[in-house]
Amino acid sequence: MNDWETATAKPPLPEDAPDAQQRQWAMFAHLSAILGGLLTSGGLAGIGCVLGPLIIWQVKKDTMPFVTDQAKEALNFNITVAVVMLVLLLLGVGTFGIGFIVTAPLMLAVAVAALVFIIIGAIKANNGVAYRYPFALRLVK
């Protein structure tokens, strides 16, 4: 190995690190929220953002512990985002649309933040690192 290869080589993963298949499924658990949100009409706040991580968790929970952990983390985060978006929507509607002056920018900020955190979570999971979202209600344990 030359100096360049040595300097750019990734350190070896620990022995208890998840294998490539687990890392890939964990990444899918995070990214499925974006796909599910886009497929439902509500964007990231739609119910689809919860379905992807939920399905992956249910399918892989008995065979892949890393995927189980990351799918539950993604599920909890997306439930939190959906609840926040629902509350903001209800505030906007409850004030006969006047509240959307405040809630619409907040909804946009929450959606952008959710997108960024989901992408970060997918990258970390693909690297074999258990990602924890900065804010999430831990409803599914």
Q: What is the pLDDT of residues 112-141, one digit of tens each?
A: 999 999 999 999 999 999 999 998 888 888
Give the mean model confidence (pLDDT) for residues 40-69: 83
Number of domains comprising the chain: 1
Tell me whether residue 31 is in a domain: yes
Tell me whether residue 10 is in a domain: no
pLDDT digits (tens, 9 = 90+) for 55-74: 999 999 999 999 999 999 99
Which structural domain, as residue segments, surrounds residue 80?
18-125
Tell me whether residue 42 is in a domain: yes
| Whole-number Cα distances in Å, 94 to 85, 91, 128 | 14, 5, 44
Amino acid at 35: L
Answer yes or no: is pLDDT of 47 > 90: no
Give the mean model confidence (pLDDT) for residues 30-44: 78
Cβ(71)–Cβ(60) under 8 Å?
A: yes
CA atoms within 13 A on the CB side of 70: 33
Give this prediction's pTM.
Answer: 0.82
What one-character DSSP code corresponds to residue 82?
H
Answer yes or no: is pLDDT of 21 > 90: yes
Tell me whether residue 83 is in a domain: yes
**Residue 37 — very low, low, confident or very high, per pLDDT cuts 50/70/90?**
confident
